[in-house]
Structure 1
Amino acid sequence: MTTTGTTKARPHTTGRGGTTSIPARWRIVGWIVLTTALVLFGLGLTLRTLLMADVDRTANADVVQELDEFRTFAREGVDPTTAEPFDSPERMLRLYLGRQIPASHEVHLGMDDARVFAVDRSGGDPGPYDLAADSDVVNAIRESAAPSGIADTPAGPVRWGKVTIDGGDSTFVIAVFTAPERAEVDATMRVFAWGSLAGLALTALLGYLVAGQILAPVREVRQVAEGIQESDLTRRVPVHGRDDISQLAMTFNAMLDRIEAAYDTQRRFVDDAGHELRTPITVIRGHLETMDPAEDPATRAETMRLVDSELDRMSRIVTDLLTIAKAERPDFVKSRTVDAAELLLDIESQAQQLGDRRWELVEIAEGEAVLDPQRVTQAVLQLATNAVSHTEPGGRVRLGSRWIENRLVISVTDDGPGVKSEDAERIFRRFDRGGDGTGAAGGAGLGLSIVTAIAGAHGGTVTLDSIPGDGATFAVDLPAGSPTGSPAPSFDGVDAVDRTQESQS
């Protein structure tokens, strides 16, 4: 019976404990529109409040102006038609109202305790409403102890002011209707609201386009991430400009570089291990399959010796492969300040154990160097091992070190058959060995690769100087800082320090 599994899609996260399925582009547009809408709403509310306050302020100013003009006229108290004082307050009010032209939506009234005897609304009374005929509003104004106020009418609020003539019961009243101006303000705000909606729509459109342009590199990152496969890690995100999104793309590309390098290292390790371990495994299996339990102990011992030898070779191959794989890690080299002379002496002391050879120190660089002594020792001993494998017992192997400007060069010279020119580059590659003329003595072909990896991790190089039939000189050239001392005298020929007896002991 087969079962079909389902895969749950992981929701987009928006923060701690929050999830959303809204694309980032729309979230950006939403926040832009919301912020703009709040700003426009606040601006519209403030604008309407200011315009309404201006309407009330203008109405109050009109009331105060008309009342001041009437008081001035009343203080003079002279009828301009007769040049005599007014004979009655009513005459004064009628004459004054007859000479005035009320502003728009203003009404001037002359009244006594019983009636409204004069009305001037030539400026335009709002609608069909007649303030003089509304006894409730007129009586409220007449009976009010305040000189001014606001009254509610069917035509909207009206701001009024009054002046009572001295020595009489006649009163001058000015009333200003504010509803028409308020209606104009409302009309203005409707235009503002429609304009704001159009602006919000345009903002949303531009925000959508700009957000898409800004997020384009992010989409490219996602598309590249989706297109990356285990067998193809070469795709990269195009980088345009120097903004934050470009920095994100550069960081993502750098991460892909590290992943690709790690994958290549792993793949090379697996390929190399499979390639090189296949032979010893086959040999071991063949010996074990052909071993007869009834055969004599000597034969079984020889078989086990061969198996043990192959296992040792497998162990060396794995160790070498791990060293090469670790060489690409940032912590492979742990540099510190060491004495260059002591380093070479330590290397020469360990090299004597590699074989019965004439070990000679031909040059010693003095001073302090900044490098990883363990890795450098490993590299030089590998060159010494290579020299031993290419020379006969009793052969001559020379070690030396010297400063070249601020670089420390440690060399190993043998008197073996040398390296052919066609093999000079190939022997530094993994699993490549020299031809018949090099005197190669087996091995996995990883020794010089390890030396190259260690030198490269220090920022240095490995050099070869060889004449076929006249030996070879391998040198590790390392940027080790400026020397603090001077080189020791060079020893060569019969004056060289001969370590043959020490190695034999």
Structure 2
Amino acid sequence: MTTAEPLRRWITERIRTVSARARILLWLLIVMAVALAAVAVATRSVLLRDADQRINGLLVQETNEFANFVQEGFDPDTGQRFTDPNPLLVVFLKRQYPDPDEELIGLVHDPVKNRPAKKVQGRDHGMRHPLVEDDPALKQVFDAQADSGVLRRPEGEVRWAKVPIEAGNGHPPAAFVVAVHPAGEREKATDVFHMLLAISGVALLMTTGIGWVVAGRILRPVRLVRTTAAQLTEQDLTQRIPVKGRDDIAALAETFNAMLDRLERAFAAQREFVDDAGHELRTPITIIRGHLELMGDDPAERDQTVRIVMEELDRMSRIVEDLLLLAKAERPDFVTPEPVQIGELTADVFVKARALGERRWQLAEAVDAEVGLDPQRITQAMVQLAQNAVQHTVPGQRIGIGSRDEGDRIELYVADSGPGVQPQDAQVIFERFRRGTARRGARATGAGLGLAIVKAIAEGHGGRVELRPTDGGGATFVLVLQKETTQ
């Protein structure tokens, strides 16, 4: 483990302990700070770029004006064109009004001192370190081969451009120089940048207060959800969150309330299931205990007691096995589909069901189709339905088993000619430990798990089990499965 790993872990733990309200505010401030800083930097860059463009335009404008004056100007004293650079520079500079950060300079070469000896400046410049007072810098500009450039002096940067004046008629060479000091423009851009930073700081302070209040209002329903969840217990699931509006928070509250509804129903079903299971298991235990306590020394009585005890133990074992099967129905591997010929499966179920009791068994119909399903589970469900039909009929009554093709689905059914199912029982008979309020036959002695198992098997295949009336009287239980014919 690197030395940075403990620090990173510590930071992560600290972040997790910060409230959601503080994290929202922190992220808001970070985003705003980055955005405001980006705006300030971009504004400064734009101002500096505009200043550079203005300086370049100013240099070009002044040099073009002087070049035009050289070509078209006249000496006011003689009325002729200029032949001497001295009066040319003097006349031109007197007519100019330089900007505060601009210098207009005329330079005439001094052949004795080998430097620009004559300098002609226009209006008062008012600068702290003007170029016109810096003789070495002026000589560097005058001697430069280029027509423009940048002087980087300790006193500040100077950007310049010049128009050379060709010597003639014995006159020394001269030049017109435009010098601009960009420090002022850059200071303005920097001042705007600092002002924007100050405004951004004030905006962040205001955002902190406003964001804290807004985050609190946004998270208020979440805190209400947390409070409601903290008040929930297994015995009290009646708490609900009031829903206001139609925004995402209201949707969250509705979803949470719906989850509570499902939890309440699930806990109620669980309690009912535990109560019913306890009741069903308590009965055989009571019977076994009573017979064992009353068992005497008579061998016949002992044999009878052992037989009763074994029957009750077998019944308990079947209940436990059915409960385990229903619990397994929640697992994804409850069914293992494979290609199955429905006609052959129907015939196999018919053969097995005939051994359940002396009834008038009929193989009503068998569809010729291949479907992907779990043959063992489907056989188990069909045999359970057949057993249910036997319990609610008497010898000689008809029980039909069959399968049919209904387009996009396959139906496998068991139809009996018994007394049928009462309307008030049609919805409850598929629930665990529920047999309905009225018995269909005289020999219904199960624990009430058979039809629940059939329902779990059907739903495990993505289908359902339906109760329909039988023509002529009776009940028909149908497994409705989606057709997924294998290739």
TM-score, length basis structure 1: 0.68
For 1:138, the aligned partner's letter is D
For 2:321, the aligned partner's letter is T
Distance (whole Å) between structure 2 residues aligned to residue 63 and residue 213 of structure 1 = 63
Distance (whole Å) between structure 2 residues aligned to residue 84 and residue 360 of structure 1 = 137
Indicate whether 1:102 and 2:64 are aligned.
no
Indicate whether 1:446 and 2:418 are aligned.
no
Distance 1:86 1:286, change over 3 A: closer
Shift of residue 59 of structure 1?
4.7
Find 2:138's aligned residue among 141, 153, 164: 141
**Structure 1 segment 220-369 matched on structure 2, within 5 A:** 229-231=233-235, 266-291=270-295, 295-327=297-329, 331-355=333-357, 357-361=358-362, 363-368=364-369
Distance 1:432 1:361, change over 3 A: closer
Shift of residue 190 of structure 1?
4.5
SS at match of 1:361: strand
Cross-structure match for 1:82: 78
Cross-structure match for 1:489: none
Shift of residue 461 of structure 1?
0.4
Shift of residue 146 of structure 1?
1.7
SS at match of 1:360: strand
Moved more, 315-324 or 103-112: 103-112
SS at match of 2:354: helix
Question: What residue ranges of structure 1 are gaps of 5+ in the alignment?
Answer: 1-11, 485-505
Shift of residue 279 of structure 1?
1.4
Question: What residue ranges of structure 2 are gaps of 5+ in the alignment?
Answer: 1-7
Cross-structure match for 2:24: 25
SS at match of 2:308: helix
Distance (whole Å) between structure 2 residues aligned to residue 436 and residue 131 of structure 1 = 117
CA deviation map 1:190-224 (0-9, x unaligned): 55555665776788889889988998897787677
Distance (whole Å) between structure 1 residues aligned to residue 310 and residue 403 of structure 2 = 42
Task: State whether residues 25 and 211 of structure 2, in contact with CA within 8 Å, keep that contact through their aligned partners in structure 1.
Answer: no
Distance 1:312 1:453, change over 3 A: same
Indicate whether 1:398 and 2:399 are aligned.
yes
CA deviation map 1:383-426 (0-9, x unaligned): 4334444455x5444323253744535234256x6666766666
Shift of residue 71 of structure 1?
4.3
Cross-structure match for 1:50: 49
Distance 1:170 1:141, change over 3 A: same
Distance (whole Å) between structure 2 residues aligned to residue 369 and residue 242 of structure 1 = 50
Shift of residue 308 of structure 1?
1.6
Shift of residue 321 of structure 1?
3.0
Distance 1:199 1:55, change over 3 A: farther
Distance (whole Å) between structure 1 residues aligned to residue 483 and residue 128 of structure 2 = 106
For 1:81, the aligned partner's letter is D
Distance 1:222 1:57, change over 3 A: farther
Identity level (%) = 34
Task: State whether residues 151 and 160 of structure 1, in contact with CA within 8 Å, keep that contact through their aligned partners in structure 2.
Answer: no
Indicate whether 1:477 and 2:478 are aligned.
yes
For 1:474, the aligned partner's letter is A
Distance 1:340 1:273, change over 3 A: same
Distance 1:195 1:307, change over 3 A: same
Shift of residue 335 of structure 1?
4.8
Q: How many residues align?
A: 455
Cross-structure match for 1:411: 414
Moved more, 23-32 or 152-161: 152-161
Distance (whole Å) between structure 2 residues aligned to residue 330 and residue 261 of structure 1 = 23
Distance 1:477 1:337, change over 3 A: farther
SS at match of 2:464: coil
Indicate whether 1:379 and 2:381 are aligned.
yes
Find 1:460's aligned residue among 462, 465, 481: 465
TM-score, length basis structure 2: 0.70
Distance 1:300 1:219, change over 3 A: same
For 2:468, the aligned partner's letter is T
For 2:52, the aligned partner's letter is A
Distance (whole Å) between structure 2 residues aligned to residue 339 and residue 220 of structure 1 = 56
Shift of residue 287 of structure 1?
3.3
Indicate whether 1:125 and 2:125 are aligned.
yes
CA deviation map 1:7-42 (0-9, x unaligned): xxxxx9999999544434135314422441453254
Cross-structure match for 2:179: 176
Distance 1:252 1:372, change over 3 A: farther
